[in-house]
Amino acid sequence: MSESTKTQCPYCGVGCGLEVSAVAAGKSNDGNSWKVRGDRTHPSSHGMVCVKGATIAESINKDRLLYPMWRSSLEDAFTRISWDEALNRLVDRIQTVVQTQGADALCMYGSGQFVTEDYYLAQKLFKGCLGTNNFDANSRLCMSSAVAAYVQSFGADGPPCCYDDLELTDCAFLIGTNTAECHPIVFNRLRKHHKAFPTVKLIVVDPRTTPTAEVADLHLAIQPGTDIDLLNGIAHLLLQWGVLDRHFIEQHTTGFADYAGLVQTYSPDVVAHRCQISQADVELAARYWSEANSVLSMWSMGINQSSEGTAKARTLINLHLLTGQIGKPGAGPFSLTGQPNAMGGREAGGLSHLLPGYRSVANPQHRAEVEQAWQLPPGQISAQPGRTVSEMITGLETDAVGLLWVAATNPVVSLPDLERTKAALRRSPFTVYQEAYHPTETTAYAHLLLPATQWSEKPAR
């Protein structure tokens, strides 16, 4: 290893740049062999790191899964086996399931912790080689509302913003996100810009008074579940004041008349009553939006993890389309991602309805393009969208799944309805778990453990 190696924090979607260097023998105060600091040249973080990134070296050697382990029943203890034996057991099981239940009884549940190349290979193995689209990932849980909203509004799931927009915006509209605590480096950048330019407005919509809300110019502590009321209420005022980008609407949108008719019913008094905030605050939010040259909205799980998450995100996107606040510096609807590579995974076909390059398994032309790229015979890729992770759980419950392969995620902590998840996993006839650590909550439900390299051990390319 050279004196220091540039790399990236693997924890969250900010992707902070790190520099890692070896600590000379006998010089470590805390027992770590590696020292980590922020990379000042990195475009997303400018040298900053949060406490998770700063202490990441502590995770390198702790509780690592070092060897393949096997047990035929969850009641048994694991025994160490060789890699050859592990791979033979896995291949035997895949062949048995294909012969007895068919390829659609094979499932893989991957992770936003995968690097893009891992994602690409894993989904190619299932969709291209094994003949089932049952490859899903945990971005299904955190980001799917944002994904669906972007696809429904724009036809593609690619956030039309970037971190440079943080220092270029006149008005940051944060809704359903405690950015100061969940994406601290993003928030530090935004806050520096906010402090440096008093004309820049920060609006925070959150029922709770979070550290993010505490420094806002306007905190709208709405009743939980009234986000759409507020957003349509702002649209109502902007329309009333004539603050709309007619050229953008005509050139780039459809259905404007219906939208304008709908928001007529969201008058400020109605919205203030539903949201349990003052009418003056609804008007001030609309005023800030109307006076800004560029508006950057940001959201995370407060919007996404909601039964109406897609509708909420679309309503926010509609505000940008109404005012042309998109496709220019400092503006746009920006979903903040929790995992490091949920977006990269979706670009690489890392969900059960997707193929690489924003393609869809349901689209015959897309399937043909990917079959050609992978040199597969026509028709090799199934036209049937694969099981989502929830449907994998249902498949275990109904004995329709003969092999579940989990990698780089801990579903016994993170899936919804954990008791149901655990009961389904107990029924699983064969669960492979590819993971860097042991024990975890999910190793307790696995038959075959495959030790994985993690962030710091990937070979340099």
How far apart CA 254 and CA 435 sit, in angstroms, is 46
Choose between 14 and 351: whose C-beta lies nearer to ligand SF4.
Answer: 14
Choose between 53 and 345: whose C-beta lies nearer to ligand SF4.
Answer: 53
Cβ count within 10 A of residue 160: 18
Cβ count within 10 A of residue 197: 12
CB 447 within 8 A of CB 430: yes
* Min CB(249)–ligand SF4 separation in Å: 37
* Min CB(18)–ligand SF4 separation in Å: 8
End-to-end CA distance of the chain: 14
Choose between 11 and 173: whose C-beta lies nearer to ligand SF4.
Answer: 11
* Min CB(156)–ligand SF4 separation in Å: 25
Cβ count within 10 A of residue 364: 13
Strand partners, 64: 437
Cβ count within 10 A of residue 359: 15
Choose between 45 and 145: whose C-beta lies nearer to ligand SF4.
Answer: 45
* Min CB(180)–ligand SF4 separation in Å: 11
How far apart CA 321 and CA 176 sit, in angstroms, is 20
* Min CB(182)–ligand SF4 separation in Å: 9
Choose between 9 and 393: whose C-beta lies nearer to ligand SF4.
Answer: 9
- Taking the CA of residue 270 as centre, how many other CA atoms within 13 Å lie in the half-sphere pointing to its CB? 13
Tracing tokens 């949920």 back to the chain, one arrives at: 342
Minimal CB distance residue for ligand SF4: 53
* Residues making contact with ligand SF4 (CB under 6 A): 9, 11-12, 14-16, 45, 49-50, 52-53, 184-185
Work out the burial of residue 59: count CB atoms within 10 Å of its CB; fewer than 13 is exposed, 13-18 middle, 19 or more buried.
middle
* Min CB(200)–ligand SF4 separation in Å: 22
CB 456 within 8 A of CB 433: no
How far apart CA 266 and CA 272 sit, in angstroms, is 10
Phi first, then psi, for residue 229 (nearest 5°) are -60, -45
Choose between 184 and 350: whose C-beta lies nearer to ligand SF4.
Answer: 184
Choose between 4 and 152: whose C-beta lies nearer to ligand SF4.
Answer: 4
* Min CB(149)–ligand SF4 separation in Å: 23
* Min CB(339)–ligand SF4 separation in Å: 10
Three-class DSSP category at 257: helix
User: Hey, what long-range contacts does 326-331 have (CB within 8 A, 24 or more apart)?
Assistant: 326/160, 326/248, 327/160, 328/294, 329/164, 329/165, 329/168, 329/294, 330/165, 330/167, 330/168, 330/169, 330/170, 330/293, 330/294, 330/296, 331/161, 331/165, 331/169, 331/294, 331/295, 331/296
Choose between 7 and 232: whose C-beta lies nearer to ligand SF4.
Answer: 7
* Min CB(355)–ligand SF4 separation in Å: 28
* Min CB(184)–ligand SF4 separation in Å: 6
Choose between 38 and 309: whose C-beta lies nearer to ligand SF4.
Answer: 38
CB 326 within 8 A of CB 320: yes
How far apart CA 116 and CA 119 sit, in angstroms, is 5
Choose between 34 and 67: whose C-beta lies nearer to ligand SF4.
Answer: 34
Choose between 50 and 331: whose C-beta lies nearer to ligand SF4.
Answer: 50
* Min CB(174)–ligand SF4 separation in Å: 16
How far apart CA 325 and CA 297 sit, in angstroms, is 10
Instruction: Extract the tokens encoding 179.
Output: 């950015």
